[in-house]
Amino acid sequence: MTKRSSVRARQEENQADLFGAAPPPSPKKARAAKTAPTAGPTPRSNQAKQSTPDALLNVRQAAARLGLSKSTLDKMRRAHKGPRFVKTTDRAIRYDPVDLDRWINARRSQSE
């Protein structure tokens, strides 16, 4: 194998496939990951992203769950056409996941 073809092979190994999946780990990295000691507690930024199922969602999280943009959800709320929401403070709007699921189910239609 020439130097140029080995470089090309390594580049192809490290690229993601067409559908965005991550490339498989190389054998060296896989071994290193198995033997690496586990880190301590997770960083705060990761802890904030993890939430319990009963936790209220902010507007961005609710919009992502519904497959809408934040601005669309804001407009729907102002027009009283969106899912129920909770105004936790004068400015903070939150959504209960149960209310989002109910709203989705109420809007389902069956094709004939």
Per-residue pLDDT tens listing for the chain (112 residues) = 566 666 666 665 555 554 455 555 666 655 555 555 555 555 554 444 555 656 999 999 999 999 999 999 999 999 999 999 999 999 999 999 999 999 999 999 877 6
Give me the domain span that covers residue 68. 53-106
Same domain, 31 and 57: no
Q: How many CA atoms lie within 13 A of 7 on its CB side?
A: 3
Same domain, 60 and 25: no
CA distance 7 to 15: 13
Q: What is the pLDDT of residue 17?
A: 52
Q: For residue 99, report the phi and psi dihedrals to the nearest 5 degrees.
A: -65, -40
Same domain, 59 and 101: yes
Q: What is the pLDDT of residue 63?
A: 96
Residue 16 lies in a domain: yes
Residue 45 lies in a domain: no
If one counts the domains in the chain, the total is 2
Q: What is the pLDDT of residue 46?
A: 47
Buried-exposed string 43-76: b where 16+ CB fall within 10 A, e elsewhere: eeeeeeeeeeeeebbebebbbebbeeeeeebeeb
Same domain, 99 and 62: yes
Same domain, 75 and 101: yes
Same domain, 27 and 58: no
CA distance 106 to 100: 10
